[in-house]
Amino acid sequence: MLTPNDVRHRKFRTYRSLLHGEVYDVEDVDDFLDSVADTIEVLGKEALKAKEKNNG
């Protein structure tokens, strides 16, 4: 699971594009976004469980 520091300090690979200058590696960014989505999913499930426990 990612931490706030993981997100704040994440560095992506870059490469030079003739048309756009320095650009981020798309696969690297996609992999990171998958990790972010996984973390959000886990936290959402934990929040729902806590809410159910407090209301139940």
Domain residue spans in the chain? 4-55
Kind of pairing, strands 21-24 and 14-17? antiparallel
23: left (phi over 0), alpha (psi -120 to 50) or beta: beta
3-54: pLDDT as tens digits: 999 999 999 999 999 999 999 999 999 999 999 999 999 999 999 999 999 9
* Confidence at residue 56, expressed as pLDDT on a 0 to 100 scale: 72
* Confidence at residue 9, expressed as pLDDT on a 0 to 100 scale: 98
- pTM for the model stands at 0.82
* Confidence at residue 27, expressed as pLDDT on a 0 to 100 scale: 97
